Amino acid sequence: MLKSIVSKVIVTAASFVVLLSANSTQATGLLTKYDSEAGEQLHVEFVGQYKSGAKIGEGGTEIVAYDSINKYAFSVNGAAKAVDILDLNGLKDGKQDIPLVRQITLSDLGVSASDVTSVAIHPEGQYIAITAPAENKVDHGHVVFLTKNGDYLSHVEVGALPDMLTFTSDGTKILVANEGEPNDDYSINPEGTVSIIDLTGEINSVTNEHVTTIKFTDDVIDSNVRKVNNDNTYSEELEPEYIVVDEENKYAYVALQENNAIAKLDLQKKQIISVKSLGFKDYSIEKNKMDASNKDDSISIRNWPVLSMYQPDGLSFYKVDGQTYILSANEGDAQDYDGFSEEQRVKDLKDSYELNASLYEGYTQEELNKLVEDGLFKDNQLGRLNSTTSAPKNENGKYEAIYAYGARSFSIWNGDSLEQTYDSGSDFEDITQKVYGENYFNSNNDENSFDSRSDDKGPEPESVIVGKVQGQNYAFIGLERVGGIMIYNVDNPSAPTFTKYFSSRVFNEEEEVTSSSGDVAPEGLTFVSAEDSPTGQNLLLAAHEISGTIAAYQIGIEVEKPGDGNTPGTPDEDPVEIKDPVPGDDGVEQPKEEAEVLIPEKTNSGKESPEGVKEQEKKKVENVNGQENNESPKNASLDSHKLPNTASANYNLIFLGVMFTMIGLLVFRKVKVQ
């Protein structure tokens, strides 16, 4: 009898273990997370994913827009040259698979087009707008208006290669960035322009008469704005990449990426009022460091005699104390065509340099000369760094500085003057090297590699968005190459603080990125406030171009005020912030000092200096057991994290199941002996 009972205990316990093991591995998507001290209090959770089914690298998801009325999302599918309509309503029931409702293809647009490049939703959710370049990209493209079900309404003609569009917040206008790229042999270079479409009438009746095309004129362009090819006019040179509109719908700000500039557009006058150069980032000063070589077999984040262009891709905006600020994701880009290219390795230009210390803040002329003598132009130093031939020269026809692409950072600019108030310096490389170490630091987005992007533009910040979480402004910056998203508290535009880095990319032993690599290469970000979200919590939607997936993350925890009578889970206009009590204070929260960007100082070798890490500045990379891991071995930073942490809870139950099994076996053995 006892033997029978013991046998049943063993079988039951073993079954319990097996069942729980299966459940725990399917709990959520895997997240790598790296926190500052303040970041530990900001909840980030993977809650869902859309899989386009596109092959790796074909752009199955690129841009994502969200409709707060029916809780649908609209995703640009570059692989299918279509827009996918997605249903996010299942997220509120804990369903992680986001289903496809319908796919809008080129044949549905009613125009001749080669591609779909962007999508936006009318602020009142009445209809959507899609940009469709012409079959020959140098010809005029179109903006097509459709119902939210994908049925055709109307279309208008805009400039060459419409690449991005956005509505004003009142819905009366839509602005289109017509990039106007040259053809491959560089024989045709159309003007870059901005189109303003008047939407005050019936959308079915919109025609070309409602389109105003804004051109760039020399009188508003600062003389130091970069020309890539001096044979071009400025109107041919300037290529609008991205547009944001301020809160009052008074001004629009246009990123001119290759030209390292931002244009300011007066929407009432319908004219460009200024084009400002963003200047250069000086990598000779302490706060600006980078790893510049993919051939040094190490992580070497240090100062270099390099001036790099900011060249933002994505922009965002927010207001603090009545002042508008523009945020930029400083990706970098070059003109590189069959008929014209500016790209060159530094080592290939070594005979064309006469480095001038007056252009650098951090070096004397003697120090520069010594760097050259010590092999500055070799592959393991700056020789591999991608540089440009379209840079200033002295009277001897020599470059007096080494110029590079992109700032490997995000910046904040005053909306009135376009003067910089903040740049994140070398944070992104400092943080990702702490997370990935010599396994996947500066990895590419199509392979699981080490240090392969250091000679180019590093992690390549691609997009930036601002969202309000628990009453505070946070910036989310997507890193195109290594992947993942940086979060900064930007309440103070002059002193933002790093909060958290997270990524649902999975690095594995395979050389190439595959469908098992998770979410790779964030391209477009959309923040969904709790009041508009299907879950009642803030969401960040991240479209990942290489993996062809959209990941949905919950950001923070918005709750109602006690006793306010709201429906449970419905956020207030002024939500209560969830904070952890300070240890040892008997549950009474004490004020904390203002957070800092807590990154250990680096020596020139990239190693951590002993004095650089203070106990109160300690960070952690969470692994699946929630344990601290400062060595960052492969896959050790994967964290299946929920609130409550169901994965951790399941591990505890598994442990109990194993214990019961062991006890049963011991009892059984004892009975057998007796």
pLDDT of amino acid 8: 41
Phi, psi values for residue 81, rounded to 5°:
50, 60
For residue 440, give the DSSP letter.
H
pLDDT of amino acid 6: 42
Q: What tokens were used for 101?
A: 């409702």
CA angle 258, 259, 262 (to 5 degrees): 110
- Do 34 and 621 touch, CB atoms closer than 8 A? yes
R_g of the chain, CA atoms, integer Å: 27
Q: Is 447 left (phi over 0), alpha (psi -120 to 50) or beta?
A: beta
- Do 401 and 372 touch, CB atoms closer than 8 A? no
- Do 256 and 263 touch, CB atoms closer than 8 A? yes
pLDDT means per 10 residues in the chain (674 residues)? 43 36 39 94 97 97 97 98 98 97 96 97 96 98 97 98 98 98 96 98 97 97 96 95 98 98 98 98 98 96 98 98 98 97 98 98 98 98 98 97 98 98 98 97 97 98 98 98 98 98 94 96 98 98 98 91 40 34 32 31 35 36 37 35 33 48 52 44
How far is residue 247's CA from residue 225's CA, in Å, rounded to a whole number? 27
CA angle 128, 131, 133 (to 5 degrees): 155
pLDDT of amino acid 671: 41
pLDDT of amino acid 559: 76
